[in-house]
Chain A
C-alpha cells in the first residue's frame, strides 16, 4: 500500500518540474543544511550558523520575530478586509456591519486583524524592553536601535490610523481625543505656545492638515485610510528590511562574545 506512495514520490522527485523548484534533497548533512538556508530567498535572511544562545527563546523572547509574524498576518487579513470596505463616511460603517454579519469568515478576518494589531503593539514594546535589558543597542548596533524606535512609532501610527476606519463612536472619539493634542503643538497648532502669534488658526494649523478639516470627518477617514493601507505599511516594510539587514550586518544577534571581538 505505502509502497505505491514511495514509488510515486521517487518518480515525482525525478521530474524536471520538481527539480527545477527544489534544488536539493532533504539530507541530513552539514552541506545540505547550509544550502537549505542559502538557497532560499526567505530563509537566507538568516546566516547559515548562529551561536547557540541566539536560538534560545529565553534570550530573545522571540519578540522581534513574533512582531514580524504579526505584521504579515495583518497584511494578509488587511488585504482581505479591503475587498469589503469603502473609506467613505456614508459606506464605511455599513460595510463593517455587512462584514460582521453576512460575509463568510468576515468576522474571523476582522477580529484577527484587530487582535493582531493590538498584539503587535504589545510585542513591539516587549521586543524593545528585551533589547534594552540585554544591552543590545550598544556598539555596533546603535543605529539599528534608532531604526527600531522609528518602527515603534510607525507601529503606533498604524494602529491609530486603523482605529478610525470602523467609523463607529469608539473610532471617531478615540481619534478625536488623540488628534486634539495637535492643536496644542508649539508654533504649529492654533492653541499651542506661540501658535496664534505665528498666524495659526483652527483652519490652517497642523491638526487641520492631519484631519483634512476642523474636526474628524469624512476627509479624515480618507486620509487615515490612505495612510493606514498604503503609506505607513510601505514605510514600515522598508524600515523592516533595513532593520533585518542590519541585524545580519552587525554580526547577528548580540551576545557576550561580540563585546570582546569589538574591543
Chain B
C-alpha cells in the first residue's frame, strides 16, 4: 500500500494521474455530447450559431480560464517540489531507467519490437499519420460539432490509437513497470532481483521451423514463413479493397487514399497483435533477416 501511494504521489507521476483524470472526464463528456447530438435534429452547436461580441463574451471566458489555470499552477508549485535527485553519474545506471513519461508508451513497445521500429519508425509514422488525417478522411460530415454516428470508423480508430495505444501504455509504463522493466502491480514492492525466465521463440518455430540452421546461419525456410506472414497481413488491405471496391466509401476514397489508410491502419493494428502474440505465445520475432528483425 505504501508503495502504491509512493508511486502515485512521486512528483513526476502526479501529472500522469492528472492526465488520466482529465482524459476520462473529457472522453465521457464528449461522447455524451455526441450521443445527444446524434439523437436530435441538428446539433446543439447549431443552436448557438448566433453572433456575439468578443468583448466581453469571449474575453471574459478567457480571463476566467487563465485565472483558474494560474491558481491551480501556483498551488501545485507551492505544495510540490520538482524532483532533484543525486548528481548525474554516467557509471551508475538506475534500475529501472525510464524515459520521460510521455515517451513511456514507446518504451513499452520496445518490449515487443526492436528499437528501429519502436524508437524510430513508429514515432515517425505517428507524426506522418497524424499529418495525413485531414487528407485521407474526406467524409464531409461531422465538421464543427460532436458526433459519433456520422464518423464511426474515424473516431473509433483515433480513440483506439490515442486512448489505448498511447495513453494506456504510458500508464502501464509508469505504474506497472519496475526493475528490469518487469511487470509489477502498482501496490507490489519492487523486487530488484526478480528474474523472469525468457522462453521466447520465433514465429516460424511455432510451426517447427527453426530460425537458425545447425551451423548457426539463417534458415531460408524460416525467412520465407516470416515474409509470407507479413505479406499476408498487409494483403488483408488488398482483399478488403477487392471485396468492397464497388461500395460508395471506397469509390469516393480512390486507390491512393485507400492504400494510405489501409497501410497506416494495418501497421497500427499490428502493434496489439504482436503484443498479444508475445504475451500469449512468447513470440519474439516474426521475421529474422541479416539486416533487421521484425
Q: Which residues of A contact B (CB under 8 A)?
A: 30, 33-34, 36-37, 43, 46-59, 61-62, 65-66, 69-70, 73, 89, 93, 96-97, 100, 107-108, 110-116, 118-119, 121-122, 125-126, 128-130, 132-139, 141-143, 145-146, 149, 152-153, 156, 159-160, 163, 166-174, 176-178, 180-186, 189, 191-194, 197, 215-217, 254-259, 263
Nearest residue (CB) in A for B45 is A53
| Bound form: Cα–Cα A213–B253 in Å | 48
User: In angstroms, how far is the closest chain B Cβ from the Cβ of A75?
Assistant: 14
Q: Which residues of B contact A62 (CB under 8 A)?
A: 61-62, 65
Q: When chains A and B are docked, how far (Å) is the Cα of A186 from the Cα of B74?
A: 44
Q: Which of A58, A69, A138 is within 8 Å of B143, CB to CB?
A: A138
Q: Which of B22, B53, B143, B155 contacts A49 (CB 8 A)?
A: B53
Taking a contact as CB atoms under 8 Å apart, the answer to whether A49 and B45 are in contact is no
Which residues does chain A contribute within 8 Å of B147, judged by CB atoms?
A: 135
Residues facing A in B109-130 (CB within 8 A) are: 114-116, 118-121, 127, 130
A37 lies within 8 A of B73 (CB): no
Known: A138-B137, A169-B85, A173-B94. Contact between A129 and B103, CB under 8 A?
Answer: no
Other contacts beyond A37-B55, A54-B58, A152-B130: 6, CB < 8 A: A129-B26, A133-B146, A169-B85, A193-B116, A215-B90, A255-B46
| Complex contact B54–A56 (CB within 8 A) | no
Nearest Cβ on chain B to A218's Cβ, whole angstroms: 10
B68 to chain A, nearest CB (A): 9
Do A135 and B143 touch across chains, with their CB atoms under 8 A apart? Answer: yes
Inside 8 A of B78's CB, which chain A residues have their CB?
A: 108, 111
> Can you report 19 residue pairs joining A to B where beta carbons are below 8 Å apart?
A50-B52, A51-B48, A52-B49, A52-B50, A55-B57, A55-B58, A55-B61, A107-B81, A111-B77, A112-B73, A114-B82, A125-B162, A129-B23, A138-B142, A146-B131, A156-B102, A170-B12, A189-B116, A255-B144
Q: Does B247 contact A (CB under 8 A)?
A: no
Complex contact B131–A182 (CB within 8 A): no
Check A43 against B55 for contact (C-beta < 8 Å): yes
Q: Which chain A residues lie closer than 8 Å to B236 at the CB level?
A: none
Known A37-B55, A116-B73, A134-B146; contact A174-B34, beta-carbon cutoff 8 A: no
Residue of B nearest to A217 (CB): B90
Q: Which residue of A lies closest to B31 (CB)?
A: A133
Query: Taking the complex as formed, is B152 at the interface, i.e. its CB lies under 8 A from any CB of chain A?
Result: no
- B140: chain A residues at CB < 8 Å are 138-139, 259, 263
Q: Does B208 contact A (CB under 8 A)?
A: no
Least distance between B45 CB and chain A CB atoms (Å): 4
Known contacts A174-B99, A256-B46, A185 near B120 by CB under 8 Å: yes
CA distance A52 to B46 in the complex (A): 9
A33 to B53, CA, bound (A): 7
Counted as pairs of residues, one from A and one from B, with CB atoms less than 8 Å apart, the total is 279
Give, as a whole number of angstroms, the nearest-CB distance from A92 to chain B.
8
Contact between chains at B46 and A48 (CB < 8 Å): no
Q: Does B97 interact with chain A (Cβ within 8 Å)?
A: yes
Check: B243 CB closer than 8 A to any chain A CB: no
Q: How far is the CA of A118 from the CA of B101 in the complex (A)?
A: 9
Contact B66 A69 (CB under 8 A): yes
Which B residues are closer than 8 A to A by beta carbons?
Answer: 12, 15, 18-19, 22-23, 26, 29-30, 33-34, 42-46, 48-59, 61-62, 65-66, 69-70, 73-74, 76-78, 80-90, 92-94, 97-103, 106-107, 114-116, 118-121, 127, 130-131, 133-135, 137, 139-147, 151, 155, 158, 162, 291-292
Give chain A nearest CB distance to B34 CB in angstroms: 7
SS class of chain A's interface: helix, strand, loop or mixed?
A: helix
Q: Looking at the complex, which one of A100, A115, A167 makes contact with B87 (CB distance below 8 Å)? A: A167
Chain B residues with Cβ under 8 A from A55's Cβ?
A: 52, 57-58, 61
Contact of A89 with B88 in the complex, beta carbons under 8 Å: yes
| Bound: A149/B66 CA distance, A | 24
Q: A61-B26, A100-B84 are in contact. Are A134 and B145 (CB under 8 A)?
A: yes
User: Measured between alpha carbons, how far is A110 from B93 in the docked complex, in Å?
Assistant: 26
Assembled-state Cα–Cα distance A197/B80 (Å): 50
Chain B residues with CB under 8 A of A168: 83-88
- Bound form: Cα–Cα A150–B102 in Å: 16
**Interfacial chain B residues near A181, Cβ < 8 Å:** 106, 115, 118-120
Question: Are A115 and B51 closer than 8 Å at their CB atoms?
Answer: no
CB distance from B85 to the nearest CB of A (A): 4
